[in-house]
Structure 1
Amino acid sequence: MIKTMRVPSTPRRRQAASALLALGAMLSAGACSVANSGPETSSGGAAANTVRIVLPEEPPTLEPCDASLTATGRVTRANITEALTERDPGTGRLQPALATEWKQDSPTEWTFTLRPGVKFHDGTAFDAKAAAFSIDRTVGSEIDCNVDGYVFGGIELTATAVDDTTLKVKTAKPDPILPLRLSFVEIVPATTSATGKVREPVGTGPYKIAKWDTGRSLRLERHAGYWGKAPEFAAAEYVWRAEGSIRAAMVKSDEADVAIGLAPEDGAGDSAVQYPNNETSYLRIDATKAPLNDIRVRQAINYAIDRDGLVASVFAGLGKPAGQLVPEGVTGHSSAVQAWPHDMAQAKKLVAEAKAAGVPTDTPIKIIGRNGIYPKAAEAMEVVQNSLIEAGLKVEIEMLDVNAWLEYLLRPFPKNLGPTLLQAQHGNQAGDAAFTMGQIYGSKGAQSSYGTSELDSMIAAAEQASGEERQTAFAKALEHQSKDVVRDAVLAHMTGILALSPRVTYKPNAATNDEMRLADMHPAG
């Protein structure tokens, strides 16, 4: 699933996002067979040195500066292109990649020491000039990079090559997590276009693009000149099928080795592997319109929803009831913010109190849902609708396809709307609450329907803090949001399913949806 919530909010970027999503939704209607070639074959007829992956959608592009789009990043990141730094999804620690070390010289200046002897796929040398160019192309150009809006959000910086292996980066304001932000800047040669996006990039990664047969398949081959340890599979072949049941069947029939984005009912059977997928489902409450502008009504919505029942029934047990968008393992997570308890009596009481105080609780509230945002998305909203009606509210549902739904997700929102609840999902793959709080809860956030000056101040202060102070500051902001603002109804931390062939060993993690590293896949046996 493309993480559309990460798209910046300017009109031009909104149009670009819609175009990308529309292209990503165009799926091949051909047969399910996956062709492979190679000198070695397994008993099932597949090339033993090729790993075969079936995706829900064709990547809209492999443009490196759009690698924060899930459909692009899961193919590009750490496979074709690499960044200066990388985050370990298990520990959250930042690790060297194309930079071997870094230090903060002042609150606004950083020095990065780059890995020597690295070459791009075209044979040109990776150096500080290429790193500076890639940063400027991603953050300072006019090509509307998705990474720019999602990761940097208006931060001003300059990158300068001191010598071949030394890079200096200066920011206009102190930024304690700059090395983390740079883990999203994929490095490309300085010969890459700086005025337009590229579909097939040149990188430093362990794999290079061999052939992209649009609408049918994409093949990557191992880069013989890779600077690091060579991955075990010589090649990877990607195909895409919209139906989860078909993707699962392809693994079971030995037509694919890995199938992602599955639901329990897709029938993966013994090949199914569950993993925490970094996503949190929630309802964004438009707290600017009655009756949702009364905090008692927003609290009632949270009390009315039976999260345990929702996870157990609709999500088939694949998930965990949640109370915040920042999950465990992400800087800023607050252990004090728990999922709201299911208390229908309290929900009814709060709605009655609001009604007695003159709040128009009989005003129809519309749930804006998105088809396919996660398995059984419509059923989940029907469960919510029934609960809110029982609490004393009037609720309707409108399910939309992704492009129409985007109009409600991002500023500027459609005009003349009544009170709405937006079905949404958020993943924080970067590991820091800064990538959640501003855009989701800030008064002017790209996805925010409501904010307060007090919460804005708390977010701004947390963004300038570092270490334990940063953790504490963001946690307090989340606690304030949950208690005093109640801008949303968080539902569940989700669990993903992929199907895995017995000929491949692979351990998915919280980053798998966004960054599927081929080097982590190994032939079984």
Structure 2
Amino acid sequence: MTISRRLLGQGFAAGTAALAAPLVLVRPAEAQRAANTLRIAFRDAVPNVDPYFNSQRTGLIIGHQAFDGLVHRDPETFRIVPALATEWRWADSKTLDFTLRQGVKFHDGSPFGPDDVVFTINTIADPNTRTSTPSNYAWIQGAEKTGENTIRLHMKRPTPAALEYAALVMPIWPKAYRERVGPEGFSRAPIGTGPYRFTRVDVASGVEFERFDDYYQGGPKGRPAIQKLVARYIGDAATELTELLGQRVDWIWNMNPDQIANVNRMPYLQATRQESMRVGFLNLDAAGRSGAGNPMTNLKVRQAVWHAIDRKTIAERLIGGGSRVPDTPCFPSQFGCNAAAAVRYDYDPNKARALLAEAGFANGFDIELTSYVQPRQWSEAVQNYLRAVGIRANLNLMQVAAQIQRSQRGELAMQMGSWGSYSINDVSAIMPNYFGGGGDDYARDAEVTRLIEEGGSTADEAARKAAYDRAIRLTTERAYWLPLHTYVSTFGFRRELEFPTFPDELPRFYLARWK
């Protein structure tokens, strides 16, 4: 066994044992299908289900069931199709005109109209609103009502991906209701125009939905077949799998891949896989936000980290299912994500040790490694690779929301996480978040920030590519943000459930049905 596989296995074996729940055959429960209810498990709790105030994938998924935007992206073709707007046209490179759909109702029965759209867009465009991912909306100047059924969206700069953002991260609020209850009230009892409406929101335990029978005719998501959704927050992969095996939940995802065969042996369960746009990463505190003595401020230390981890083996043996190792701080299919522009780092533990010695750390050092990544053996594998070259990474496994809060405060010297770009197929959905000067930017590199802003400020594809190429070159040359692997979503669910999967990492429960 090579050193790489031995180090990987130290975490792998332990995690496998932890997840090896008793695979006993039990009689399938039919109650939930008879009640037309789907029981869902999510691993991380969502403190705020308003899509503008969380950056968690679980929050995006929850919001996608209950909210609609002006347009919708077809999950099979990635084509932009009508939603709350029936038509749109570019008036110029910084202006979009929308014609709104008539007869749409919010979940409280109130009518949807242009005032709701203008209110939503102008609120999120205001920096004082403090959305969770400001880079998603930094391009918006504002909106105005141009007629009884039309609005105009103004942009600060040409934004070629504007319709992608409108489709995936710009749900429309009901103006009157949100003004009446305020942001806090809205987070506890949110209202949208989507195919499901919230019936219960508990930040600690989960959310519940009921089919919205007044969902508008021609809506891109259609009328759901399943009447109710009950989503529980379950904190770890082992418990989640146990709940699925015990038929206390009907659907889980991102379970440990080594359990796929076991799940598929159960006559009442099935497991499937689908690569997603999510990228796992290590974010290194090159800027010294977590403290001036942080070793990550040293370029040679960061380069040592990049050489220390056998990312290919992690992708192939732990993640599996076709997981890849990106050379770039973005997903390969995204516009502007040019692998040829990146500096590549091979797995070379000897070189890592030499770089550490050159940096003055011949005896290594201790450092906190925070991670919310599950299964935990993925984090443990990274920890083992780092320890093998002398970086004594003390692993601190956290809940997603807690780590995001610490990251935003600039407290983390080395953090492991993942980013799904809100499923937007453009580097403007990932690179500005980590290099644009915001809370998750631990590089604070003015040159990189300028290049990213340049790439996002023109509709000229050649100019965009040139700016992003240079930014990718610098971020990899200076070893700021280490892309570990792409994610492959693993779904486990009841065989009686028809559940289509798509590559954009957005489970669509409104398309599911009981057989």
Query: If the TM-score is normalised by the length of the shorter chain, which range does it land in?
Result: 0.7 to 0.9
How far is the alpha carbon of 1:64 from its aligned partner? Answer: 4.3
The corresponding residue for 1:439 is: 433
The answer to whether the 8 Å contact 1:332/1:470 transfers is no
Could you tell me which residue of structure 2 aligns to residue 205 of structure 1? 194
Q: Which runs of 5+ in 2 are unaligned?
A: 1-27, 265-269, 288-292
Partner of 1:114: 100
2:346 aligns with one of 334, 341, 349 = 341
Deviations 1:36-59 (A, max 9, x none): xxxxxx972323433222222454
One-letter amino acid matched to 2:84: L
Aligned position for 2:137: 152
Equivalent of residue 325 in structure 1, options 306, 326, 329? 329
- Cα-to-partner distance string for 1:377-429 (whole Å, 9 max, x where unaligned): 4412322223432xxxx434242534664465224x24xx9xx4332322212
1: CA distance, partners of 2:368 / 2:159: 38
Deviation of 1:372 after TM superposition, in Å, equals 4.4
CA contact (8 A) 2:38 2:229 kept: yes
Q: How far apart, CA to CA, are the structure 2 residues paired with 1:246 and 1:327?
A: 31
Query: What does the per-residue CA deviation read over 1:62-113, in whole Å, with 9 as the maximum and x for residues that have no partner?
Result: 3243364333322221x21101123345554433321223222234322112
Deviations 1:207-242 (A, max 9, x none): 223445786664322222211332222232223333
Q: Per the alignment, in what secondary structure is the counterpart of residue 46 of structure 1?
A: helix
Any conservation in 2 of the 1:277–1:510 contact (CA below 8 Å)?
Answer: yes
Which moves more between the two structures, 108-117 or 282-291? 282-291
Partner of 1:521: 512
Matches of 2:448 and 2:430 in 1, distance apart? 13
The separation in 2 between residues aligned to 1:496 and 1:106, in whole angstroms, is 39
**CA deviation after TM superposition for structure 1 residue 340, in Å:** 3.0
Give the distance between the partners of 1:128 and 1:57, measured in 2 at CA.
35
Q: Tell me the amino acid that sits aligned with residue 517 of structure 1.
A: R
Partner residue in 2 for 1:45: 31
1:72 aligns with 2:73: no
Q: How does 1:302-313 map to 2 (within 5 A)?
A: 302-313=306-317
Give me the whole-angstrom Cα distance separating, in 1, the residues matched to 2:74 and 2:468.
22
The 5-angstrom pairing of residues 182-221 of structure 1 reads: 182-183=166-167, 184-194=169-179, 195-197=182-184, 198=186, 199-212=188-201, 218-221=207-210
Q: How many residues align?
A: 464
Q: Write out aligned runs for 1:3-82 (5 A).
A: 44-48=30-34, 49-66=36-53, 68-77=55-64, 79-82=65-68
Deviations 1:433-480, CA, capped at 9 Å, x for gaps:
1122223124x2321222434323321211112363366235413541
Q: Does 1:224 align with 2:222?
A: no
Closer, same or farther: CA 57–309 of 1 in aligned 2, 3 Å: closer
RMSD: 3.2
1:499: how far off?
0.8
Q: CA deviation at 1:122?
A: 2.5
Q: How far apart are 1:486 and its partner, in Å? A: 2.1
Aligned 1:78-117 pairs, distance under 5 A: 79-89=65-75, 91-117=77-103
The equivalent of 1:283 in structure 2 is 282
- The CA deviation at 1:319 is 3.2
Give, as a single letter, the amino acid of the residue that structure 2 aligns with 1:519.
Y
CA 1:477–1:242 in 2, change beyond 3 Å: closer, same or farther?
A: same
Q: Structure 1: any 5+ residue segments left out of the alignment?
A: 1-41
- Residue 147 (structure 2) pairs with residue 163 (structure 1): yes
Q: Which amino acid letter does the alignment assign opposite residue 377 of structure 2?
A: K
The CA deviation at 1:118 is: 1.8
Larger relative helix fraction: 2
**AA at the equivalent of 1:163:** G
Structure 2 CA distance for aligned equivalents of residues 257 and 368 of structure 1: 34
In structure 2, which of residues 137, 144, 164 is the aligned counterpart of residue 180 of structure 1? 164
- Relative to 1, partners in 2 of residues 1:137 and 1:44: Cα closer, same or farther, differing over 3 Å? same
- 8 Å contact from structure 2 (residues 353, 362) kept in 1: no
**Identity %, equivalent residues:** 20
Change (3 A) 1:446 1:345: same
* SS of equivalent to 1:193: helix
Distance 2:503 2:257 in 1: 19
2:480 to 482, 487, 505: 487
Of 377, 396, 400, the match for 1:399: 396
Tell me, in whole angstroms, the C-alpha distance in 2 between the residues paired with 1:236 and 1:398: 35
TM-superposed deviation, 1:139: 3.0
- Cα shift at 1:329: 2.3
- 1:452–1:196 CA distance, 2 compared to 1 (3 A): closer
Query: How far, CA to CA, are the matches of 2:420 and 2:339 in structure 1?
Result: 18
CA distance in 1, matches of 2:201, 2:207: 4
